[in-house]
Amino acid sequence: MGKGDKKSRKGKISNNSYGTRRPRKIKKRPTIEEKIKINKKK
């Protein structure tokens, strides 16, 4: 239950890996409607 544990959050951080315990941050993609609004402003 520490740095050596591959299933725990601390283990994922020390091992530089991701998983269900340490998910990656999801980048929000702009929707099509938002893209149209941005293009009309210019």
Q: How far apart are the first and last CA of the chain?
A: 54
Residues 6-19 as b/e (b if ≥16 CB within 10 A, e otherwise) read eeeeebbeeeeeee
Spatial distance between the Cα atoms of 6 and 18, rounded to a whole number of angstroms: 10
Whole-structure pTM value? 0.49
Residue with tokens 């544990």: 5
Distance of alpha carbon 6 from alpha carbon 35, whole angstroms:
41
- pLDDT tens figures, 1-42: 788 888 888 889 888 898 888 888 888 887 788 777 777 665
